[in-house]
Amino acid sequence: MARFAARRLLGMVLVLFAISVIVFLIFNVIPNSDPAQRMAGKNATPQLVAGITEEWGFDEPLPVQYLTTMKLIFTGQLISYSSQLNVDEQIWKGMPATFSLCIGAAVIWMFFGILFGYLSAVRAGKLTDRALTILALVGISMPVFWLASILLYYLTFKASLFPSGGYVPLTENPLDWAYHLILPWITLAVLFVGFYSRVLRSNMLDVMDEDYVRTARAKGLDERQVRVRHVLRNSLIPIITLFGLDFGAVVGGGAIITESIFNLGGVGQYAADAIANLDLPPIMAVTMFGAFFIVLFNALVDIAYAYLDPRIRLGESSQ
Amino acid sequence: MTGRSPWGIAYRRLRSNRVALAALGLFVAIVIFVLAAPLWANEVAHTGPNATHTVEKIGVDGERRDVVSPDGTPIGPVWLGAGGKFFLGADGRLGRDEMVRLMYGGRTSLFIGVSAALLTTLLAVVFGLLAGYYRGWPDAVISRVMDIIWAFPVILLGIALGTALAVGGLQIGPISISSGSIWIPILIIGFVYTPYMARPIRGEVLALREKEFVEAAISQGAGPLRVMFGELLPNLWSTIIVFFTLNIANNMLLESALSFLGAGVQPPASSWGTMVSSGYGLIYSAPLLTIIPGLMILLTVLALNVFGDGLRDALDPKSKVRLEAHAGTFEPEEELI
Amino acid sequence: MLAAGATLGLAACGSSGKEGGTLKGNYASFPDYLDPQLSYTAEGWTAMYNTYIPLLTYAHANGDAGGEVIPGLAESLPRISDDGKTYELTLHKGLKYSDGTPVKASDFESTVERLFKLNSPGTFYYAGIVGAEQFQKTKSGDISGIETDDASGEITIHLTEPSGTFTNELALPFVALVPADTPAKSQSADPPPATGPYAIVSSDPGRGWSYARNPQWAKSNSELMPDLPSGHIDKIEITVVKNQSTQVNDIEQGKSNWMFSPPPTDRYAEVKSKYEGTQFRIEPTLNTYYFWMNTKKAPFDDLKVRQAINYAVDPAALERIYAGQIDGAQQILPPGMPGYEKFTPYPHDMAKAKQMIAEADPSDRDITVWTESLNPHDDAGAYYQDLLEKLGFNAKLKTVGADNYFTVIGNLSTPDIDTGWGNWFVDYPNPATFFGPTMTGASIAPTGNTNLSQLSVPSLDRRVDELAKQQLGTKQADEYATLDKDYMQQAPWAPFGVRTLSTFVSSNIDLDKVIWSPIFSNDLTSFQFK
């Protein structure tokens, strides 16, 4: 197990390294877009451009620039081109909003995903199932930014039911915090509710045919107990796996559109702004941040899975 | 196709799934709608998708009206009031015909969705076959590359590439793609979704590789290419078709998101995503400009998803290809090789 | 006693408005910097106008009067030597920063040095000080052209060349004094102590910042600088709210009192019709929006083609594209600029434009049109591209992100820089800042080029150079007016309008008293609750 975890960790580091190199290269090959020239403004003199180039080390070879950037990220000293603010600090400041959004949305999508999936499976083929299936497919097919725009326009600007964006810290006012986050939560959760209910439904239908479920029924357990204790419980394992991956992906950049439209000022919005400004230091740091969460949750899922399923551990030692 | 073959069985199963057939019908209708774009533009609206009519007036039911009012509000839907011109009104302050742009934009969106899905399928099949057939180090290398793409925040990567390439285009060896070309979003989307399809295909190849018919082919002296494309590939078709369909739907969603963020289709060309994006800037004065193109995306993606579901049920009744596979099946053995 | 006080208060309310209160304002984005030496945006300058005072400053007034340079921390306007190269100023005695440290004459030198150490975009204006270029290279020693005496408060500045604009430049925030020990790195998160009436007391970059009255203002600084208003409001809180529609709603609902940006184009007409005159006012700005044409490349090397484009571009169409937020114009200088005389050299005439193109019959008709991705500039670019198509060109549109646009088109090695959208904003009302950087051959640079048309007409260049050395007066203004006409004869640009901005305040703010400075936009000291 320890060896497995160690290998997984090494894999994570390699993936993060590769990603950082790719991002760095993408933004360094943009033609005629010297960052020193951009920072020097509209009245740039050659002397000023030279000064900025030297100050920021833009004349160094790319590998050196890359190493410097990475060193600064990990020592917490990286500053952005456009505002000269500490990048790590800005990411820390954005984290409460990002995590509030993602955790809240995750609770919603797990709850409704499981509820709808369960109802759909136990009423398979009936009207409830069909209605929920259509709802789920609509949810999966909805462009997130479109849903957000429509909700924002009709529910906040027209009906004034919700505040139109912004983030209130939980510590400041828990009610206001939730009130400001309701629409973003819904927006982000819709896709996953649809998706999870579909997955759970098909898993449950499969499990219902398994021998041990039939045995349980034969033993005279009532149908509800069978469904909840045996069917639902066993069908949830793949859902939890999926959840690990999706939660990592959402924290790691999947919430960028929702954050931007609702102006939550989280890490995702910081990333979107940085990309619009071609501000490489925050782009590097935020991509690393996002990829870290994706890779971390991938690894956690793997490890949890290996722990739960002894076959995999055996598989490891045999190879 | 004979009634007894697995394809024939699948066909009959699909034929009895009325919801899936309706979805297919809807999708075909949408395709016809966007293919009719030049017809509508030339014969009915008499304007191109990028032609501006900012200061022009049109006669609507005998009344002269500004296409764009002096304060910048575009004309709303006039239906057939102007003989088919500005059926859905103007697209914004440039006074372009929204209906014409919607039809041409749909072409772009669908073209990107299908082309990127073809690219993804090609890459995924090749990588999946190579990794699953050779196992060992080719598998390790391919899986690692897929891991890297997988761990990239998709939207971040998409915007980053889109923004970076918007200035200078792309130059890979002899191939040169100018900035603003729709091949840039196609390449980005096709590339980022490759692991989502390559992983399950590889898994299936790994399983098929152990089957007797493969061993038999190898013992009869069949070369690797022969085995991969002659023996393994035919057994993958049902998976590929299902994934391909669902992949088009996902691609269209990603394209619209990238275009919404300004990193997809570049102006003056339109796609449904860019139309929602520019419409959103006018949501107070003309909410339909946001709603209509978004609905088109929703309907198309929904049709593809429902039909894809039906296809899966028909081709693969034991649901080998699970829904979760389409978001990324977790495959533990991969880490252990 | 209490009753009397209340009555007095009411009386004051009726005549001159209320004193005190907290002003809540919204910005759509955090300023580039809350650091006077670094900030080079309208956002930053509005935010710091009443916090960081230079030796000279601009009068707190609307319109042309607001372009006048008045003494700031200095006792009077500079004494300029006959050769125009030496400026002498004297610092007021007894000035203090908001943290209580005395303001010293030597702080001016350290401030200018800080500007250079920070590699600020503002260094451009002060590179003409003797020794400044050397200091810019080495970042050590001192700038020999600045002499200061802390005891007498005297400051002497030597320039390498006479300049007609240096007085204007001494009044810009770039050289607003900060204590000598202010670190040479961005202070946005912890802005330096103030010399003006409002001190920035907290700053959370990306989210907002707030002001309180500078305690030293009432004690000492105000008396010494009586021309600078003290402001009516006690506290100002600025929040960054990205969605400008939300900002409009907040003002309508009284949740905020002021927004820095104009209402979004989508709601501009609505706000204007509902609130113009009571809470909303359209404000002039010093800029010109135009399409530039590369005079060095076919087909725009042909004067006739350029003039044809000028006839084809319809300012009325662009007024609609900008939702009424530009005023159509066809000349280089905007209203409010000395030397502005309205003229319409190329009244819109599509037939004439087509005929001229037919006569010129350019052989190269493949054109790349450049524009910025921000709305409505992207629409303006799409309009222009479509217009060129209508004129028989084969035009391709290239859209570049806002932050990168001018860097890309200002780099002469960028392929296909044929024509495109552009705008030119100036920092202070002196026409020299218009023609010098955008029209003269000397200003063509391989990177960071601002002469986008790459125009070079030596006879006109000489006139610009000559005028730039002279102090601006009526004679000079007249010559600039002629230059405007002469340059438009060359048609390097097809100008289409002047951007207008606006003041939009909540119903409890006295709109009539709110000042719009041509340089700093809304003047925070002029806000007053009714």
Which residues from C are below 8 Å from A274, CB to CB? none
The answer to whether the CB atoms of C320 and B55 lie below 8 A apart is yes
**Cβ contact (<8 Å) for A34 and C447?**
yes
- B296 touches B113 (CB < 8 A): no
pLDDT at residue number B323: 40
Q: Does A40 contact C at CB distance below 8 Å?
A: yes
Beta-bridged to residue C493, according to DSSP, are C292
Residues in A touching B309 (Cβ below 8 Å): 137
Q: What is the pLDDT of residue C7?
A: 38
Asked if A43 and C125 come within 8 Å (Cβ–Cβ), the reply is yes
C-alpha span between B23 and B248 (Å, rounded): 14
Pairwise CA distance, residues A204 & A236, whole Å: 9
Statement: residue A288 has pLDDT above 60: yes
Other chains touching B, judged by 3 or more CB pairs under 8 Å: A, C
Instruction: Please tell me whether residue B275 adopts helix, strand or coil conformation.
Output: helix
Tokens representing residue C193 in the block: 């102590």
- Residue A163's SS3 state is coil
> Chain A closest CA to B301's CA: distance in Å?
5
Three-class secondary structure of residue C284 per DSSP: strand
Verify whether the Cβ–Cβ distance C382 to B52 is below 8 Å: yes
Instruction: Confirm if B93 and B52 have CB atoms less than 8 A apart.
Output: no
Distance from CA of A283 to the nearest CA of B (A): 9
Instruction: Write the secondary structure of B175-203 as one string of H (helix), E (strand) and C (coil).
Output: EEECCCCCHHHHHHHHHHCHHHHHHHHHH
Q: Report how far residue C426's alpha carbon sits from residue C124's, in angstroms, rounded to the nearest whole number.
A: 14
pLDDT of A316 over the 60 cut: no
Helix or strand run (H / E) with residue A11:
helix A2-28
Interface contact flag, C136 A46, Cβ < 8 Å: no
What is the DSSP track for C316-372?
Answer: HHHHHHTTT-EEE--SSSPTTSTT-----SS---HHHHHHHHHHH--S--EEEEEEE
CB contact under 8 A, B70 and C396: no
**Farthest CA pair distance, chain B:** 82
Q: Are residues B156 and A286, on separate chains, in Cβ contact within 8 Å?
A: yes
Q: Choose the closest CB to A257 out of B257, B302, B332.
A: B257
Torsion angle (degrees, nearest 10) of CA B161, B164, B170, B172: -70
Residue C118 CA to residue A56 CA, distance in Å, equals 11
Compute chain B's Rg from CA coordinates.
Answer: 23
The answer for residues whose C-beta is within 8 angstroms of residue C12's C-beta and 6 or more apart is C18, C19
Angstrom distance (rounded) from CA C207 to CA A83: 13
Residue whose C-alpha is closest to residue B328's, from B144, B226, B195: B195
Distance CA A287, CA A15 (A): 12
DSSP three-state, residue C158: strand
Q: Do C321 and B50 touch (CB under 8 A)?
A: no
Out of B151, B164, B333, the one facing A315 most closely (by C-beta) is B333
**Which stretches of chain B drop beneath a pLDDT of 50?**
1-2, 320-337
Q: Provide φ and ψ at C306, rounded to 5°.
A: -65, -40
B247 in contact with chain A, both atoms CB, cutoff 8 A: no
Q: What per-residue confidence (pLDDT) applies to A1?
A: 65
Q: Do B298 and A26 touch (CB under 8 A)?
A: no
**Residue numbers in B near A32 (CB within 8 A):** 167-168
Q: Which residues of chain C lie closer than 8 angstroms to A48, CB-CB?
A: 119, 121, 123-124, 136
- Rounded to two decimals, what is the model's pTM? 0.93
pLDDT at C275: 97
CA count, 13 A, side-chain hemisphere, C349: 12
Distance CA B302, CA B298 (A): 6
Q: Number of residue pairs across A and C with CB atoms under 8 Å?
A: 120
Q: What are the respective helix, strand and coil percentages of chain A, to the nearest 5?
A: 80, 0, 20
Q: Is A298 close to B151, i.e. CB distance below 8 A? A: yes
CB < 8 Å from C in window 220-259 of A: none
Task: Pick the residue of B100, B178, B284, B289 with the most C CBs within 10 A to test the interface with C by mutation.
Answer: B284
Q: CB-CB: which of C133, C189, C404 is closest to A278? A: C404
Question: pLDDT at position B154, please?
Answer: 78
Who contacts B74 (Cβ-Cβ below 8 Å, separation ≥6)?
B67, B68, B89, B90, B91, B92, B93, B95, B282, B285, B286, B289
Pick the residue of A27, A33, A79, A158 with the most C CBs within 10 A to test the interface with C by mutation. Answer: A33
Chain B: residue nearest C370 by CA? B167
- Which of B292, B268, B222, B311 lies closest to B77 in space, CA to CA? B292
Structure token pair of residue B229: 């494309």
Q: What torsion do the CA atoms of C14, C19, C20, C22 make, to the nearest 10 degrees?
A: 60
Measured in whole angstroms, the distance separating CA B177 from the mean position of its chain's CA atoms is: 20
List phi, psi (to 5°) of B25.
-60, -45
C120: nearest Cα among C177, C41, C40, C192: C40
Residues of B (280-319) whose Cβ lies below 8 Å from A: 280, 283-284, 287, 290-291, 294, 297-298, 301-302, 304-306, 309, 319
CB contact (8 A) between residue B336 and residue A316: yes
What pLDDT shows up at residue B319? 52
E-strand stretches of A107-198: none
Q: What is the pLDDT of residues A202-242, one digit of tens each?
A: 888 888 877 778 888 888 888 888 888 788 888 888 888 88
Chain A residues whose beta carbon lies within 8 Å of the beta carbon of residue C375: none
Instruction: Judge: A34–C450 Cβ closer than 8 Å, yes or no.
Output: no
Which residues are CB-neighbours of A58 under 8 A, at least 6 positions away? A34, A35, A36, A52, A65
Report H helices in chain B. 6-15, 18-35, 37-39, 98-134, 136-151, 154-168, 183-192, 194-209, 212-219, 224-225, 237-260, 272-280, 288-315, 323-328
DSSP letter string over C46-94? HHHTTTS--SEEE-S-SGGGGG-EEESSBSSSPEEPTTS-EEEEEBPTT
Cα–Cα separations (whole angstroms), residue C501 to A278, C44, C314, C378:
27, 16, 21, 19
Q: Which chains touch A (3 or more CB pairs under 8 A)?
A: B, C
Provide the CB-side half-sphere exposure for A40 (13 A, CA). 29
Q: Is B282 on the interface with C (CB under 8 A)?
A: yes
Q: Cβ B302–A141 below 8 Å, yes or no?
A: yes
A301 and B161 in contact by Cβ < 8 A? no
Task: Measure the CA angle with vertex C345, ends C344 and C347; round to 5°.
Answer: 70
Q: Note whether A90 contacts C205, CB cutoff 8 Å.
A: yes
Per-residue pLDDT of chain C (530 residues; tens, 9 = 90+): 344 433 333 433 444 688 999 999 999 999 999 999 999 999 999 999 999 999 999 999 999 999 999 999 999 999 999 999 999 999 999 999 999 999 999 999 999 999 999 999 999 999 999 999 999 999 999 999 999 999 999 999 999 999 999 999 999 999 999 999 999 999 999 999 999 999 999 999 989 999 999 999 999 999 999 999 999 999 999 999 999 999 999 999 999 999 999 999 999 999 999 999 999 999 999 999 999 999 999 999 999 999 999 999 999 999 999 999 999 999 999 999 999 999 999 999 999 999 999 999 999 999 999 999 999 999 999 999 999 999 999 999 999 888 889 999 999 999 899 999 999 999 999 999 999 999 999 999 999 999 999 999 999 999 999 999 999 999 999 999 999 999 999 999 999 999 999 999 999 999 999 999 999 999 999 999 99
Using a CB-CB cut-off of 8 Å, the residues of chain C touching B69 are 320
- Report CB contact under 8 Å: B179, C269: no
Burial of C240 (0-12, 13-18, 19+ CB in 10 A): buried
Instruction: Write down the pLDDT at residue B318.
Output: 56
Q: Is B70 on the interface with C (CB under 8 A)?
A: yes
Q: What is the ipTM of this complex?
A: 0.90
Interface test with C, best of B54, B163, B274 (most C CBs within 10 A): B54
Would you call C382 and B180 a contact, using CB atoms and an 8 Å cutoff? no
The answer to whether the Cβ–Cβ distance between B160 and A23 falls below 8 Å is yes
pLDDT band at A295 (very low <50, low <70, confident <90, very high): confident
pLDDT score of B4: 64
Chain C positions in Cβ-Cβ contact with residue A278 (cut-off 8 Å): 401, 403-404
CB-based burial label for B168 (10 Å; 0-12, 13-18, 19+) = middle
Judged by a CB distance cut-off of 8 A, whether residue A271 touches chain B is: yes
Give strand pairing partners of C148: C155
The residues, ordered by sequence, that sit 6+ positions from B262 with a Cβ below 8 Å of its Cβ are A276, B162, B163, B277, C373, C401
The verdict on a CB contact (< 8 Å) between B168 and A30 is yes
Give the number of beta-carbon pairs within 8 Å between A and B: 170
Q: Which of C316, C321, C396 sits opposite B94 (nearest CB)?
A: C321
pLDDT at A308: 65
B179 interfaces chain C, CB cutoff of 8 Å? yes
- Residue B73 CA, distance from chain mean position: 33
